[in-house]
Every structure is written in structure tokens, then in C-alpha cells.
Amino acid sequence: MRRVILPTVLLAAVSGLTACSIVDPAPGATVDFLIDAPLCSSRIPVEFAIDGAVVGTDTFLVHLTPSHTRSRVFAASAGRHTLHAATNLYAWPDKTVTLSDGESVTDTLPFYCS
């Protein structure tokens, strides 16, 4: 029988893992964007920003197959944020929201085609 001697540092590290508890971080807040364009039937590319920083772009497909009117979800920290959305020809008014941990908000973007 062969004896294996583990260094004391390794044993302390392994035994320390069993004594620690894992704490899940608080869930972050999230933001998504929803286009409301009841009279349109078109493709509408939109750029999204949170606090002045562009977080993504998407092309909404309104009354087309397949329909796509909601953006993906963007992570945000708890606190006050300014949401912005714009096409190449139109910008929605900025919206200011205050988010708590775990809270989700949808910025609805009204759009009328002429």
C-alpha cells in the first residue's frame, strides 16, 4: 500500500471549500423594447441605448411573417437609467426609469406609418 501525503495548503483549501456557503448574487434588473405600430406593415431597424451607451440593434418585423416586435433583454444595474431608441430617421423621446434588483421594464415605442 502506498501512502500519499498532500501538502497542508491543499488540504486547507479543500477543507475550506466545504465550510464556505455559496451566496447567489442579487438578480440584476433588465430592460427590453417593444414596438407598437398598429398601422404599419414593415421592417423597422432600431438602435437601443441605456444611459447614452448603445446596447444593441434590432430589426422589428411589424405585421410581417414572422412577426418580431420585441427586442432581446438587456441587463441593467439597479438604479436610475435613461432609455433611448432611434431609427435612422426617428428618435423616440428618452424615458427615465428607476429599477430595483430583479425588476424588469419594457419601453414601449409607439410608431405610426404614413
Distance CA 113, CA 36 (A): 11
Q: Does residue 3 sit within a domain?
A: no
Query: In this model, does residue 108 exceed pLDDT 50?
Result: yes
| Cell output for 35 | 414596438
Phi and psi at residue 8, to the nearest 5°:
-60, -35
Task: Indicate whether 7 pLDDT > 80.
Answer: no
Domain extent at residue 41: 26-110
pLDDT confidence tier of residue 25, bands split at 50, 70 and 90: low
**How many domains does the structure of the chain reveal?**
1
4 within some domain: no
Residue 12 belongs to a domain? no
* pLDDT score for 11: 44
84 within a domain of the structure (yes/no): yes
Assigned domain for 19 exists: no
Q: Which amino acid is at 33?
A: F
Query: What is the per-residue pLDDT for 52?
Result: 97
Q: State the CATH number of the domain containing residue 64.
A: 2.60.40
90 falls within a domain: yes
The answer on pLDDT for 15 being more than 90 is no
Q: Is 63 left (phi over 0), alpha (psi -120 to 50) or beta?
A: left
Decide if 101 is inside a domain.
yes
Rounded to a whole number of angstroms, the distance between the first and last alpha carbons of the chain is 86
Position 27 scores a pLDDT of: 76
pLDDT tens, residue by residue, 33-90? 999 999 989 999 999 999 999 999 999 999 999 999 999 999 999 999 999 999 999 9
Report the predicted TM-score, pTM, of the whole model to 2 decimal places.
Answer: 0.76
Q: Which grid coordinates belong to 22?
A: 455559496
pLDDT value at residue 50: 98
Residue 83 belongs to a domain = yes
Distance (Å, rounded) from C-alpha 8 to C-alpha 42?
A: 68
